[in-house]
Amino acid sequence: MSEDDQPRRRWSRPLLFAAGWVFTALGVVGLILPLMPGTIFLIAAAWCFSQSSPRFEAWLIGHPRLGPHVLRWRKTGAIARRAKVLACGSMALSFALLTQTSAPPIALATAALCLIGAGLYVSTRPEA
């Protein structure tokens, strides 16, 4: 690691660690609430912990309720059909709501492209 990387590393670990906990909390909420995706936040939390704290990554992966979602993603990259439908439906609803605002056309086009890309990615993953 070069000297230039030292300051970046010093700040990135605590930020990634904090983000890991935020994503974990969002993931737990998402597993409870029917319209909020939980697994994607747990996957993000596991990645943040893998970069900042192997101890908490192991805790998350070993957790009896939270860990299986992350492990399934890491092993197969699979997304359950119900989760695909919810994710794509939520994206479509979000875009529909966005069209009802005074967002400029460039914002609508950008959002549409991003949501279409995300929807294609989700829909092409294997099913659990």
* Nearest of 121, 81, 116 to residue 95 by alpha carbon: 116
- pLDDT in single tens digits along all 128 residues of the chain: 455 555 556 778 999 999 999 999 999 998 888 767 788 889 999 999 999 999 999 999 999 999 998 998 899 988 878 878 888 888 899 899 999 999 999 999 999 999 999 889 889 988 87
Structural domain boundaries of the chain?
Answer: 5-76, 81-124
Which residues, at least 6 apart from 39, have a Cβ–Cβ distance to it below 8 Å?
Answer: 27, 30, 31, 69, 70, 73, 79, 83
CA atoms within 13 Å, Cβ hemisphere of 35: 5
